[in-house]
Amino acid sequence: MRAGTFWLIVIAVGFAFIVVSRLYLTNEYFYFAGYVVLEYIVLSTAWNILGGYTGYTNFGTGAFFATGAYSSAVLHKLPALLHTTFDWTIPPIPLPVMILVGGLISGAMGLGTGYLTLRLRGVFFAIATLALSIVVQTLIVNWDFVGGSRGIYVIRPAHAPLGSSYIQYLFTLMTVLAVAAVGIARSIEGSRLGLGLATIRDDELAAEASGVPTLRLKLIATTISGGLMGMAGAPLPYYVTYLDPTSSFNLSYAVNSVAMPVIGGMTSWIGPVLGAILLGTIQQVATVTISSALNLLIVGVLLILFVIIAPNGIVGLVRSWRRRKEV
């Protein structure tokens, strides 16, 4: 299937999804829960571009995600700040603009981290991303403008565009992001870039010897991955209405964005989507019945089990089952 055809299909699916839910689903809870699952589709797809396609593990999803969230918080407070400091009046910044800005800043952060660490082995990049999470969290905790450790309250605008409730609007935006993420991932897969990333994953030295500019490709992957994660985080302040470091850097983002692609399957765009829908839905249901800590424990244990027993995830299991049927 050509990339163009795929984009058309996934856009159509996304559009249909939005329309159908608007027409038939009136339960607000669906939108709240659905937003989280869609958020995870974006996060795990983004993670997989660097993880599954390129072979570089990012443990600091929280850093990129929260950067997107906090850049929105800053933009949210910007009009008031400009008014009191310079007596300028600018309209409130629309959320789509915040999403783009969040993506740009997170993408730049990905580029910067990558530039510093991607010339070394993948292990050091992974460790650096772990530390990055802590550092960004420390910076935000010490930054009073966004509330520091006390957090910040964000009031949703009274009117949502598209004439629906605000949460439906957020849901729609996140669906658009999910469509974009999946489309980008699939385009990369079938492209020259995707083939190059695969060689980096398979054997970086041989890739260089074959003429692949490995550092440049790794930086591209890191920037796209980080940027998408930032975009996923940008609407968060309006979703939770109370943004604080503890919840936005919540470990669940870090572990889920690793577990979902691993469990779903890292070699294609299907795996992260599958993992996100499966694990995301289960967790949304389970959070009502069991504690969130126990919930996360189960995700962590599943991650370990899959990585040992079924390293190619569900997609891998299906493939080898089909191959065995052919024999």
Task: Find the shortest distance in angstroms from Cβ 90 to another protein.
Answer: 33
> Which residue number, 14 or 261, has a Cβ lying nearer to another protein?
261
Read off the tokens for 100: 């783009």
Task: Find the shortest distance in angstroms from Cβ 89 to another protein.
Answer: 35
Q: In whole angstroms, what is the distance from residue 39 CA to residue 150 CA?
A: 25
> Which residue number, 192 or 325, has a Cβ lying nearer to another protein?
192
Question: Which residue in 245, 240, 207, 252 sits closest to 55, CA to CA?
Answer: 207
Run of H or E residues at 153: strand 152-153
> Which residue number, 87 or 144, has a Cβ lying nearer to another protein?
144
Read off the tokens for 184: 């980008």
Task: Find the shortest distance in angstroms from Cβ 31 to another protein.
Answer: 28
Task: Find the shortest distance in angstroms from Cβ 79 to another protein.
Answer: 29
Q: How many CB atoms lie within 10 A of CB 115?
A: 14
Q: In whole angstroms, what is the distance from residue 174 CA to residue 180 CA?
A: 10
SS3 content of the chain, % helix, strand, coil (to 5): 80, 0, 20
Burial class, 159, CB count within 10 angstroms (exposed 0-12 / middle 13-18 / buried 19+) = exposed
Site residues, another protein (CB under 8 A): 51, 55-57, 59, 116-117, 120-124, 126-128, 130-135, 137-139, 141-142, 192, 195-196, 198-199, 201-203, 205-215, 251, 254-255, 258-259, 262, 266-267, 291, 293-294, 296-297, 300-301, 303-304, 307-308, 311
* Inter-residue contact 155 to 18 (CB < 8 Å): no
> Which residue number, 21 or 187, has a Cβ lying nearer to another protein?
187
Task: Find the shortest distance in angstroms from Cβ 117 to another protein.
Answer: 6
> Which residue number, 152 or 167, has a Cβ lying nearer to another protein?
152
Inter-helix orientation angle 95-117/122-141, to 10°: 130
Run of H or E residues at 152: strand 152-153
> Which residue number, 34 or 114, has a Cβ lying nearer to another protein?
114
> Which residue number, 87 or 326, has a Cβ lying nearer to another protein?
326
User: What is the b/e burial string over 178-198, where b = at least 16 CB atoms within 10 angstroms of the residue's CB?
Assistant: bbbbbbbbbbbbeeebbebbb
Task: Find the shortest distance in angstroms from Cβ 290 to another protein.
Answer: 11
Task: Find the shortest distance in angstroms from Cβ 197 to another protein.
Answer: 11
* Inter-residue contact 244 to 83 (CB < 8 Å): no
Question: Distance between the two ends of the chain, CA-based, in angstroms?
Answer: 26
Task: Find the shortest distance in angstroms from Cβ 28 to another protein.
Answer: 30
> Which residue number, 33 or 260, has a Cβ lying nearer to another protein?
260
> Which residue number, 233 or 313, has a Cβ lying nearer to another protein?
313
Q: In whole angstroms, what is the distance from residue 186 CA to residue 265 CA?
A: 14
Q: In whole angstroms, what is the distance from residue 184 CA to residue 21 CA?
A: 24
Task: Find the shortest distance in angstroms from Cβ 201 to another protein.
Answer: 7
